[in-house]
Structure 1
């Protein structure tokens, strides 16, 4: 009995720490997305601002060649940061809904499923960015950063599987409640 209380207390502590860490990351990514968006707005008025768009990121050459490709490059950065931020928001929601007495709830399962879909969408955005970066390299010789895609599709798959396990857990939990 004493070990069960100790485990529950430890698990509750871990969930609290994870919630705090997730909030910190969420706020950091919100700031990053906002900073890129504001820097982009400034660079639309003052093209020289594209030399230091965000933390030393220099997109001035792309800005000079074609404003729309510059806009598309910045859009991909904002979209990636925004989608990561949204995933963290959903994680915060999921962590706040976790109940240690009955951990399998349909609400958590739905949030996990939604996270997997957002991660899949993030993978699509990263793929489109990489296609655009390859096109820019061929047409203009500008080397633009390509992002890794594997991590997003892998995470989307794992989170989707976990959401399905949670759904099954909800079914088993409700069956057990009916038999008692």
Structure 2
């Protein structure tokens, strides 16, 4: 079963809308946490509901530096995820069915893989920090899961290399015509 070009165009358009929605949603979540964190400087009660029931009040009362570090990890991970979605929206806007292999797309895919790898690294550091906090405070704090990001980074990197090779082949074909 072969996809018609119009179906592929529609799928790419829908995917672009979905990635924009994800990007905007992650930006809103990041902003909400940052604003709540800022408010918690003045009003410690804000730490009880940082974002959608996220209660870090006990950690804030124990040690403000621990609290600030945990929120920083959460914000860093969210910002990196948002940037990945932004890059994907750029990729989807650059892809054309007539000439899909472009160096700009390949380079942006490579950037995506690096940001995914970076997100995994920050996630692992965050996990190590929350494990350390568990030993120190006896409480479990969740900063979000980033387990799948290493696999995704590798997969996207491979796809970026395929795109680079596609660009090379496409350029060779243009030169021989």
Both proteins in one fold, TM over 0.5: yes
- Structure 2 unaligned runs (5+)? none
Whether the aligned pair in 1 keeps the contact of 2:110 and 2:157 (CA below 8 Å) is yes
Q: How does 1:71-150 map to 2 (within 5 A)?
A: 71-145=68-142, 147-150=144-147
Which ranges of structure 1 fall in alignment gaps of 5 or more residues?
none
Q: Deviations over 1:92-112 (max 9, x none)?
A: 000000011110000000000
Contact 2:74–2:143 (CA under 8 A) maintained in structure 1: no
TM-score under structure 1 normalisation? 0.95
Q: More displaced, 148-157 or 66-75?
A: 148-157
- Provide the rounded CA distance (Å) in 1 between the counterparts of 2:43 and 2:101: 53
Aligned residue pair count: 177
Q: TM-score, normalised by structure 2?
A: 0.96
TM-aligned CA deviation for residue 146 of structure 1: 5.6
Matched, 1:58 2:16: no
1:18 aligns with 2:1: no
What is the root-mean-square deviation in Å for CA atoms of aligned residues?
A: 1.4
Structure 2 residue 156 is the aligned partner of structure 1 residue 175: no
Kindly provide the CA deviation profile for residues 118-166 of structure 1, in whole angstroms up to 9, marking residues without a partner as x: 0011001100110110101111101112643430000000000000000
